Structure 1
């Protein structure tokens, strides 16, 4: 097969099942890849992806970071907030949001995250204790992250299941769908209307949640508009909810596949963060991020014209043998450090990275406090089908409770 016959199609179900052989060929044979049918370029080597993340002038975010046509364009910031902006607009909005979304607020949230995790775990393990197989995503990994975001924002308990259902609807794609389907548009509108009402309530009656903190955030008289607050809330749903759900399920799946690596974690829960980091490297939730070339960019003796889409592939970068020893081995405790790009790098480094890591650490540690072992029913596991996110829609497990 010639280089020109390598195919990277982010919508292909076979690619979703296992993208890593495709990535290896790209790194070796086409480190700058071109897909003329879908109209994008792609970078797959670690060095190139890292350089791409850090080049926020030539590689613009202003048309969004997804390949999906409905998510791309000058309107992208309405739902993706500052992730779909360049400086100085990006820096202004991010700085204002950071006044409310502080590390301290995240630290103070941990006891509540633990309580939410325990509530869902209790329900799941009660079913598991009767010997029935439980769906780890439906019962736990798919519920916790959105409930944590709702807790942070101040969504009342009674509304959280509905908000979670809308959030799921925003992300769902059926096979062969390469754009945002009508059901997802409807779910998005429902969420935005709900959040609009919440913002209006907080304007008249402030509380101590993040929604009120965003309304109060101010730098030299500059404040966030309602639309900017809504954009950030929506970004949390898209970027903060789904990726953490996928991280939790990917950790469970690869832990199951590598019992020799997982056994020491049962005995020493201080190893849970190492388990999280290796999962982020080995099979990161966020696999593909789009940028738009501004001016022109020359890579590998090739000129990429102004306005073209360039995909950065952190999922591939993390398996680059030029950077990691035995990258296709799942090794909990390996040296990763700053080589990790699951949360990006540079100006757009994920503002929620510390929240995602805290959630994953709490969730997996509480799970392992209560179980002795688990088995994944791989035959009935269902992968999510997305052009940029990798993980499971369903992960049935059989659990041995302590």
Structure 2
């Protein structure tokens, strides 16, 4: 059977891991002519490319869809779609505002938000887990940024529109509704930034406005770019992680029992390795790259398959087995090197709070996988809908 891989193939999106295994074994440098990209799937190659911004540039963005790819990618991905020295400058300024202390201070409020959104599900004995999984991180980001309570329904609706992938949409297209929602969110955050410039509060947006280094400051467009980045990096991935975590242990009774007994942190880390919400990151070659006897030309699109790397048996023995006792230190779920996810600490905190609150109330659960629906995305993996029934404590 010919080996073909496309991140736009709905069948691959349903279960990419068998294809990843074949890529690692048979074609660690895979060429897709139709979609015009190369794919790296082995852990050593993906990790090396993530560390090597001199040869593997982020200048065209992280996703291959035409709406996201190209020299204007930074409009969607901010400093993540930049190389040094621009990346170094902007990330450094954002890091001055987006501190561990700022994130840790949110934990009590995160618990309140999680409990409020969990309550209807628990009272009903179940429902669609992804309704909670979408609303919770959206409100967390609004809390972090400083979105007024009166505007949070609007931000939640726009965030949902950006994340929604209708099954009728062409695989390579971003739905018009998503593009319109991005434009509306840019407009909203621009107005909020202008308003906050004249009236600071104790929130991330105020800190971004005030962040400086040697007199250098973030401009209004740069600040809005960071806020848009948070929608994908801080909302969609957190939403998908929660669904993937419940799904990962649902058919593994011993692992599920331990997870529900409170082993939340290893549950999160092994889910990030075993079935991460972000499956791939795109790069552009700055020159020819020789790898495994194959020459990747200059200016080529290269897809770094972090989801495949996290199942590489060279790094993770019995990689297709979900194991709460596993050493996950080699996981590439949050990237590595200069582009290591700046919000990793927030993502972990969101998941820890949500799953801790859930396991405190739930003794067991059952998923209706026949009724479940997955998102359609070239680089993200998870559920759009995941019906669940709870047995409460």
Query: In the alignment, what sits opposite 2:163?
Result: 171
- 1:54-203 matches, within 5 Å, as 54-128=51-125, 133-138=126-131, 140-175=132-167, 176-203=170-197
TM-score (norm. length: structure 1): 0.96
Question: Shift of the alpha carbon at 1:311?
Answer: 0.5
Query: In the alignment, what sits opposite 1:336?
Result: 328
Question: Shift of the alpha carbon at 1:374?
Answer: 0.6
Question: Shift of the alpha carbon at 1:333?
Answer: 2.2
Query: In the alignment, what sits opposite 2:306?
Result: 314
Query: In the alignment, what sits opposite 1:378?
Result: 369
Q: Secondary structure at the match of 1:70?
A: coil
Query: In the alignment, what sits opposite 2:40?
Result: 43
Query: In the alignment, what sits opposite 1:265?
Result: 259
- 1:205-244 matches, within 5 Å, as 205-244=199-238
Q: Secondary structure at the match of 1:179?
A: coil
Residue by residue, what CA displacement relative to the aligned partner does 1:15-42 show, whole Å, maximum 9, x if unpaired?
1110001001101110100000100000
CA distance in 2, matches of 1:179, 1:38: 13
Matched, 1:297 2:289: yes
Q: Which 10-residue stretch deviates more, 192-201 or 169-178?
A: 169-178
Q: Secondary structure at the match of 1:142?
A: helix
Across the two proteins, how many residue pairs are aligned to each other?
Answer: 391
Q: Secondary structure at the match of 1:33?
A: strand
TM-score (norm. length: structure 2): 0.98
- Conserved? CA contact 1:275–1:333, under 8 Å: no
CA distance in 2, matches of 1:34, 1:76: 23
Q: Secondary structure at the match of 2:202?
A: coil
CA distance in 2, matches of 1:11, 1:295: 26
- 1:245-256 matches, within 5 Å, as 245-256=239-250
Any unmatched runs of 5+ in structure 1?
none
Query: In the alignment, what sits opposite 1:6?
Result: 3
- Conserved? CA contact 2:367–2:386, under 8 Å: yes
- Conserved? CA contact 1:143–1:164, under 8 Å: yes
Residue by residue, what CA displacement relative to the aligned partner does 1:73-93 show, whole Å, maximum 9, x if unpaired?
111111210000000000100
Question: Shift of the alpha carbon at 1:179?
Answer: 2.0
CA distance in 1, matches of 2:224, 2:72: 14
CA distance in 2, matches of 1:397, 1:283: 19
Structure 1 segments, 4+ long, off by >6 Å, are: none
- Conserved? CA contact 2:9–2:171, under 8 Å: no
Matched, 1:354 2:348: no
CA distance in 1, matches of 2:153, 2:49: 38
Question: Shift of the alpha carbon at 1:379?
Answer: 0.6
Any unmatched runs of 5+ in structure 2?
none
- Conserved? CA contact 1:134–1:398, under 8 Å: yes
Residues 266 and 238 of structure 1, relative CA distance in 2, 3 Å threshold: closer
Matched, 1:19 2:12: no
Question: Shift of the alpha carbon at 1:161?
Answer: 2.1
Question: Shift of the alpha carbon at 1:298?
Answer: 1.1
- What value does the CA root-mean-square deviation take over the aligned residues? 1.0
Q: Secondary structure at the match of 1:69?
A: coil
Matched, 1:286 2:283: no
